[in-house]
Amino acid sequence: MFNPSLAADALSTALQAGRALNELPVAARPQDRAQGYAVQRGWIARLGPIAGWKIAATSLAGQQHIAVSGPLAGPIFADRVQGDGASVSLQANRMRVAECEIVFRFGRDLPARASGYSQDEVLAAVDAVAPGIEVPDSRFANFEQAGEAQLIADCACCRDMVLGRFLAVDERIKSLAGLKVRATVSDGRAFEGIGSNVLGDPLAALVWFVNELSGVGQHIGRGQFVTTGACVTPIPVLPGQRVEADHGWLGRMRVTFV
């Protein structure tokens, strides 16, 4: 019989110890998305409060890379969130990529319910938007082969999140699909992307996220944020490098890797 507690123990311990797993024990291996989200709830009970949430695999290329059928949602823990200009350690990180993203903050609770939330309802709950750089990682040594149920159980490859300055919501939020995002690395590399790389529109990703979590009985709390996926192709990074991101009207930010 599937044991979500055993899976949560193994994966959260791997995060804290900085080590990788080849696979979960058979009794702890989720077989579908619902079981994967059941494991996430065990992480939350063990690792303390969450500050927000993330969406992984919001592009077709990203979904193909990790062999999943669609996006994945997961928590971001409060002790893994830093502000603009932060230094992020890559010591135990095997993915070693930086992802330039658009972040929404909720100004009211969105409780789980049987019926789906409309875009208007979701937008009414958002009070601010910000640029962000996520630094993900997986507890699976071969995460590309883990499958979507196990990757959801792995909290959608959550690790570190750096947040830029939040801006109050205005009409520009409806134009985020066309937002151009540029990133430069201290070694001279440059990258460009656009908001529409995130499920066609970051707002579509946001609504997907709310209904995905609501569908598995997960409450979304006032003050929590969701980072909606990479607008720019994930940027390989190494210790000693710095990434500077320009999210247009959302603002600029930077992260140093150590």
Bridge partners (DSSP) of residue 246 are: 182, 252
What would the DSSP string read from start to end of 197-254?
A: GTTTSHHHHHHHHHHHHHHTT--B-TT-EEEEEESS--EE--TT-EEEEE-GGG-EEE
Q: Which two tokens stand for residue 240?
A: 């000693």
Q: How confident is residue 158, by pLDDT bands cut at 50, 70 and 90?
A: very high
Q: Is the pLDDT of residue 64 over 90?
A: no
Pick the closest to residue 80 from 89, 67, 69 (CA basis): 89
Q: How confident is residue 171, by pLDDT bands cut at 50, 70 and 90?
A: very high
CB-CB contact of 216 with 30 (8 Å)? no
Among 17-21, 130-134, 200-204, the least confident range: 17-21
Q: How confident is residue 48, by pLDDT bands cut at 50, 70 and 90?
A: confident
Q: Which two tokens stand for residue 241?
A: 């490098």
CA angle 11-160-226, nearest 5°?
95
Pick the CATH number of 4-257 from 3.40.50.10490, 3.30.300.30, 3.30.70.270, 3.90.850.10: 3.90.850.10
Neighbours of 141 (CB within 10 A): 13
Q: Is the pLDDT of residue 152 over 90?
A: yes
Q: At what angle do helices 4-17 and 33-47 cross, to 10 degrees?
A: 50
When the pLDDT of each residue in the chain is averaged and rounded to a whole number, the result is 96
Q: pLDDT tens digit string along 133-151?
A: 999 999 999 999 999 999 9
Q: Is 117 helix (H, G, I), strand (E, B) or coil?
A: coil
Please give the C-alpha separations between residue 125 and each of 103, 221, 222, 242, in angstroms, as whole numbers.
Answer: 14, 10, 9, 34
pLDDT the model gives residue 245: 98
Distance CA(240)–CA(144), nearest Å, equals: 27
Q: How confident is residue 99, by pLDDT bands cut at 50, 70 and 90?
A: very high
Biggest CA pair distance of the chain: 52
Q: Is 130 helix (H, G, I), strand (E, B) or coil?
A: strand
Q: Which two tokens stand for residue 255?
A: 């992260």
Q: Could you tell me whether strands 81-83 and 160-163 are parallel, antiparallel, or unpaired per DSSP bridges? A: parallel
